[in-house]
Structure 1
Amino acid sequence: MLIYQNAHLAVHRLLLNELKTNCFIIQNGTEALLVDPTDQADVIIAYLREHGLQLRHMLTTHGHFDHVSGAAGMVESGLVDTLYVHEKDFDELKRAKTYSLMIFKKKMEVPPMAHYSEELVGFLRGWGLGLRHVGGHTKGSSYLYGLDRDFIISGDLTLHHKLTITMFDSRENTAEFKEFIDQVRQDFRPDTVILPGHGNATTVAAELEHNKKWAYVQQKESHGH
């Protein structure tokens, strides 16, 4: 379903796994960019065909299994040949296979991976998009954003504030997480739309005011813990 639109791009959302992880298809005319291929490659392919979209690239905001389970199937389809992921999450993505078996009780193939390249960054810039690595949630966590600062696809650096969330995971890095929150506050408008890893679209203002995890991170770091 269409979840966000500006003058040049349309963003579609698919919910394809048990965790309701957001899978996004960014449309530019008849071309598409797949962000976080969460599961069910066949459904993603059918959606692209239904809307007459040619897939150009596929990337993930981070390497957790619920964000990448459909990637191998997309490569097998021949529509793309690799999954772009930050190189600091290569090991995370390799571990995704184990977590998929543990949590989903489902086998997952690890797709061919490529690190975020100059070619990819240039392609995104041509679409009016930026890509920034920050870490925090995982070592390679990154976010995609409109160069007009109108929207952010944040991965799990943002979970909609109305969702029940864990305050912090021992594997997460609070200093890096706070850096992301600071960037959002400084570089984006209050009405900038956030398309989170889980949950509905929200705004910078709403998350700064209501997101308990963001508040926890900022308080923890400000007290030097």
Structure 2
Amino acid sequence: MNIFTYSLGAMKTNCYLLSDGENSLIIDPGDEADFLLEQLIRKRLRLKAIIATHGHFDHIMAAYEIQASIDTPFYIFKEDMFLVKRVNETAKYFLGYDPQALSPKNIRYLKKGKLTIQNFEFNIFQSPGHTPGSGCLYFKKENAIFTGDTLFKKGIGRFDFSYSNKNDLDHSLKNILSLPEKTLVYPGHGESTIIKDEKNKVF
């Protein structure tokens, strides 16, 4: 599996394009839908799904635009649908202008456990704390986990929102950090890291 990382939008959110050479997944398309569609064309990839690690606007704002060009499902935990539904309202507040963002369609709810989409096989971890419906995608074979805004290099997700929960976040982090130490961590912002390097920095 090839992993392409793009830092997109005003919030510099990491969007990940996963490819098996023919089919692809997009994780956290926060902005710049035209750019992402261009990458799919250039790489001659068929998009099979969009997956959000959580519902914040800077992780989902390009999803609808992509779906307008490609009929593909959007996966997210149900607990974050309240954020998905107010994507434009939240984006306007944080960006200072009206991006006229539309909420994704063709929504499918993530559930804990194994998920297979085409040749992509991975485990879904529910990792609440930053948001109630935060989740991680763990590719055991590839030794990689996509953590959204739960775990960063030298940092953890915010827990000062009205709907955040520090105790839940601590529990989620303990689960993630129990993975093999050489597991690659692909966060929602900033550089990638490995579990070993983050263990002593978080707790």
- TM-score, normalization by structure 2: 0.89
What's the offset of the Cα at 1:121? 1.9
What's the offset of the Cα at 1:167? 5.9
| Aligned counterpart in structure 2 of residue 141 of structure 1, from 134, 139, 153 | 134
In the TM superposition, 1:193-212 aligns within 5 A as 193-210=184-201
> Which residue of the partner structure matches residue 4 of structure 1?
none
**CA separation in 1, counterparts of 2:110 and 2:172?**
18
> Which residue of the partner structure matches residue 110 of structure 2?
116
Tell me whether 1:107 sits opposite 2:105 in the alignment.
Answer: no
Question: Higher helix share goes to which structure?
Answer: 1
| Aligned counterpart in structure 2 of residue 177 of structure 1, from 150, 163, 169 | 169
| Aligned counterpart in structure 2 of residue 50 of structure 1, from 27, 42, 51 | 42
> Which residue of the partner structure matches residue 221 of structure 1?
none
SS of 1:121's equivalent in the other structure is strand
SS of 2:188's equivalent in the other structure is strand
4+ aligned runs moved over 3 Å, structure 1: 165-168
Unpaired segments ≥5 residues, structure 2:
none
> Which residue of the partner structure matches residue 26 of structure 1?
18
Whose radius of gyration is greater, 1 or 2? 1
> Which residue of the partner structure matches residue 38 of structure 1?
30
**CA separation in 1, counterparts of 2:200 and 2:42?**
39
**CA separation in 2, counterparts of 1:166 and 1:182?**
13
**Structure 1 residues 170-179 or 97-106, which shifts more?**
170-179
Task: Give the root-mean-square deviation of aligned CA atoms.
Answer: 2.1
Percent identity between matched residues is 25
- Going from structure 1 to structure 2, the CA distance change for 1:148 and 1:62 (only over 3 Å counts) comes to same
SS of 1:103's equivalent in the other structure is helix
| Aligned counterpart in structure 2 of residue 157 of structure 1, from 144, 150, 155 | 150
Residue by residue over 1:93-136, the C-alpha shift from the partner in whole angstroms, topping out at 9 and shown as x without a partner, is 11221111112212211111221269x92327x52311121211
SS of 2:150's equivalent in the other structure is strand
SS of 1:129's equivalent in the other structure is strand
Question: Higher strand share goes to which structure?
Answer: 2
**CA separation in 1, counterparts of 2:142 and 2:43?**
26
**CA separation in 2, counterparts of 1:50 and 1:146?**
25
SS of 1:122's equivalent in the other structure is strand
**CA separation in 2, counterparts of 1:176 and 1:189?**
22
**CA separation in 2, counterparts of 1:37 and 1:98?**
18
Unpaired segments ≥5 residues, structure 1:
1-8, 216-225
Tell me whether 1:129 sits opposite 2:122 in the alignment.
Answer: yes
SS of 2:141's equivalent in the other structure is coil
